[in-house]
Amino acid sequence: MTEIRPRGRGAAVLRQTVTDTIVAAAVAELAETGYAGMSMGAVARRAGTGKAALYRRWPSKEAMVVDLIDVFASRQVPAGGAGDLSGDVRAYVRAVADTLSDPVVMRIVLDLTAEAARNPGLSEAFDTAIRQPRRTACERFLRSAVERGQLPADLDLDLALDLLVGLTQWRVLNTGQNVDDSYVEATSKLIIQALPLCLGAGDRRGVRG
């Protein structure tokens, strides 16, 4: 986050507060109107501040949203890999379902996914802050399960990751259905049973996801 070190008005307390207020307003505005539709004036209005306060912190709308992405990056996937594949999968599915079922998060993720196909800066920020860490975390506990023999040695990692990540996010992001405990349980169970089926040549290489 761009640092502002005010000497003026209520520095000790407000140094965080003003920036945080703007960030919160920007997140809400982003969820409501989308990246393309979001206006800096509306963010300022919602934050109860002037536009100048925004441009004192970020040079542009894009830079601001890139910073916002890091805010979401903090809500991350549990570590896992401690010895229980079944538990790791369940924890992952639950974490993703909990995070993404928040309508604000859901809308922003959908919107930035679409926008990233158009905007290289956002795409890179989204990849490095969200997608790669998430994929890396899954990769780690899958690999450790292979090492323990809980999954076959010739596991097709790409396919397994598609199954794990894709199936988990699909319903939350693309259907209007409720995501409750029974859904988490059923999906986790299916993934756990299907993971050992992810075999194959498995030499497809990928970057993102």
User: Does 42 contact DNA by CB under 7 A?
Assistant: yes
Which position has the token pair 């988990």?
168
Window of 53-61, 68-76, 134-142, 194-202 that interacts with DNA by CB under 7 A = 53-61
The smaller minimum CB distance to its own copies, of residues 19 and 188, is found at 188
User: Does 2 contact DNA by CB under 7 A?
Assistant: no
User: Does 205 contact DNA by CB under 7 A?
Assistant: no
User: Residue 150 and residue 84: Cα distance in Å, rounded?
Assistant: 9
The smaller minimum CB distance to its own copies, of residues 84 and 115, is found at 115
Q: DSSP alpha helices (H): ranges in 74-177?
A: 85-100, 103-116, 120-126, 132-147, 157-161, 167-174
Could you tell me the end-to-end alpha-carbon distance of the chain, in angstroms, rounded to an integer?
A: 25
Q: Which does 70 bind (CB under 5 to 8 A by kind): DNA, its own copies, none?
A: none
DSSP 149: T
Q: Given candidates 1, 2, 60, 170, which one binds DNA under the rule CB under 7 A?
A: 60
CB atoms within 10 A of CB 179: 18
Q: Which does 83 bind (CB under 5 to 8 A by kind): DNA, its own copies, none?
A: none
DSSP 75: S
User: Residue 75 and residue 91: Cα distance in Å, rounded?
Assistant: 14
The smaller minimum CB distance to its own copies, of residues 8 and 176, is found at 176
Which pair of tokens denotes residue 38? Answer: 């979001």
Q: Which does 50 bind (CB under 5 to 8 A by kind): DNA, its own copies, none?
A: DNA
Q: Given candidates 10, 83, 166, 206, which one binds DNA under the rule CB under 7 A?
A: 10
Q: Given candidates 1, 50, 83, 154, which one binds DNA under the rule CB under 7 A?
A: 50
